[in-house]
């Protein structure tokens, strides 16, 4: 993806789909809400009412990004323990070892969105599937054997093996180098599919990688780049936007079916 004026390629032109996992395929917000419940229950009345969940989610994301950026070699469970400690402090709650341990495993234990598995199976019939995730090997193994059981990835690329966390450009360059070597796929034949704007779509544009936004939870009626946040305006270049992975899978099937129909028509002619 060279610039916003570059013509958008057809979905049938891609050979590889690269997926962010947590937040795109996995319902991390629901897992976070569950893990925050005991902290909020222990919040002293003198601290006032707790922030609404969207504010807590934004704080969690900001803390995770800050810790990952400051300590890129720190394993994800240790990152999550530090995020927990900072969240507890922000809520005026004393940290507990058991809660810290549960928080460290938050991603690995989080459920998939209801549409994820069926959509990924459908997309896997059309493309090679690659996971590009801010996770460690043990964590992604737990997810693949649990919430994503039945989903087949052709490759799994983790922050642990890359040595940095998204949005570091090295993660995306690693992805492009890997699919080029292993699949013979060029930069223009790989499509990044992600929910995270700053973590995925901003660096995707920086490295010239096509991307699609799975805009889960956004208000109905939004279009294009609406809702990416003022801090990301002018920094994203995704050309497709769907409200769920299921919506994406359905459109992909329609596009492929249409192309195949044209092909059969040409043969008959």
pLDDT tens sequence for the chain (269 residues): 545 568 899 999 999 999 999 999 999 999 999 999 999 999 999 999 999 999 999 999 999 999 999 999 999 999 999 999 999 999 999 999 999 999 999 999 999 999 999 999 999 999 999 999 999 999 999 999 999 999 999 999 999 999 999 999 999 999 999 999 999 999 999 999 999 999 999 999 999 999 999 999 887 777 787 888 888 888 999 999 999 999 999 999 999 999 888 766 656 55
- Residue 197 dihedral angles phi and psi, to the nearest 5°: -85, -65
Rounded to whole angstroms, the Cα distance separating 56 from 183 reads 40
Q: Which sign, positive or negative, has the C-alpha torsion 36, 220, 131, 68?
A: negative
The answer to whether 115 is a known catalytic residue is no
pLDDT score of 246: 97
- Residue 213 dihedral angles phi and psi, to the nearest 5°: -95, 120
In this structure, the number of other CB atoms found within 10 A of the CB of residue 161 comes to 10
* Terminal alpha carbon distance of the chain: 36
Query: For the whole model, what pTM was predicted?
Result: 0.93
Selecting among 20, 136, 168, 200, the annotated active-site residue is 20
81 with 100: CB under 8 angstroms? Answer: yes
- Residue 129 dihedral angles phi and psi, to the nearest 5°: -115, 130
pLDDT score of 218: 82
pLDDT score of 1: 53
**Which phi-psi region, left, alpha or beta, contains residue 234 (left: φ > 0; alpha: ψ -120 to 50)?**
left
Helix (H, G, I), strand (E, B) or coil at 192: strand
């Amino acid at each position: 993806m060279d610039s916003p004026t570059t013509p958008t390629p057809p979905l049938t032109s891609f050979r590889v789909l690269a997926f962010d996992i947590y937040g795109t395929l996995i319902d991390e917000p629901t897992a976070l809400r569950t893990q925050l419940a005991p902290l909020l229950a222990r919040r002293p009345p003198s601290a006032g009412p707790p922030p609404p969940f969207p504010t807590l989610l934004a704080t969690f994301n900001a803390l995770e990004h800050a810790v990952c950026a400051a300590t890129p070699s720190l394993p994800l469970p240790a990152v999550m323990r530090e995020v927990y400690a900072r969240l507890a402090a922000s809520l005026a709650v004393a940290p507990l070892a058991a809660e810290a341990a549960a928080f460290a495993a938050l991603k690995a234990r989080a459920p998939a969105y209801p549409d994820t598995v069926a959509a990924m199976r459908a997309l896997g019939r059309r493309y090679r599937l690659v996971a590009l995730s801010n996770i460690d090997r043990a964590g992604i193994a737990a997810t693949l054997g649990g919430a994503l059981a039945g989903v087949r990835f052709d490759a799994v690329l983790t922050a642990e093996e890359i040595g940095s966390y998204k949005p570091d450009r090295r993660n995306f360059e690693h992805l492009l180098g890997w699919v080029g070597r292993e699949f013979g796929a060029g930069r223009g034949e790989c499509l990044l599919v992600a929910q995270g704007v700053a973590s995925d779509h901003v660096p995707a544009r920086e490295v010239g990688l096509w991307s699609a936004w799975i805009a889960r939870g956004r208000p109905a009626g939004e279009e294009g780049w609406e809702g990416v946040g003022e801090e990301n305006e002018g920094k994203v270049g995704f050309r497709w936007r769907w409200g769920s992975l299921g919506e994406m899978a359905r459109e992909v099937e329609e596009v492929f079916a249409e192309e195949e129909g044209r092909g059969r028509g040409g043969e008959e002619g």
